[in-house]
Amino acid sequence: MAVAYWVAALDEKTQKEDNEYKKLRETLEKSMGQEEIEEIDRAYEWARAAHGGQLRFSGQPYIIHPIAVAQILAEFGMDKSSIIAALLHDIVEDTSATKQDVISRFGEEIASIVDGLTKLTKLSEDATEKKMQNEQADGENGAKSVVMPGINTKEMQQAENFLQNLDE
């Protein structure tokens, strides 16, 4: 009985992945040619396989988050490289894939975008941690804040929270 439940739950998660990607493809078909979409399909299949059984805190398959990010960019009319980078944006950080793997599959441009997104995430996490340390050191009032030229940590945290909560 437990095996049947597990298989049903797995089928449900796989179906959700398929449905979310189907919506993304429908958006892409409005503005891209078949050749571009096929390359995006390759990125999706690789990201899906690389993230394998990974789950988000919400219990959803991890791949739902990159699909949601790609969907947002597709709705903004972003190009193929941006959509592919969105699908792959956590692949180097959260799987065994390397930047060189991204280069060999999708080229230097996409690998650079993915690498930059990984660094932005790290920068945001570091800034948030530093801000929390400063607030903690300053006591309950939280009067201190992190000052980084050109970066508003509050806005970065809001954007990060928005993207992380897409799958909840």
Among all residues, which ones are annotated catalytic? 93-94
Q: What is the distance of C-alpha 14 from the center of its chain?
A: 18
Q: What is the distance of C-alpha 10 from the center of its chain?
A: 21
Residues contacting residue 9 through CB under 8 Å, at least 6 positions apart? none
C-alpha closest to that of 92 among 102, 104, 107, 80:
102
Residues contacting residue 159 through CB under 8 Å, at least 6 positions apart? none
Rounded distance between C-alpha atoms, residue 150 and residue 162, angstroms: 21
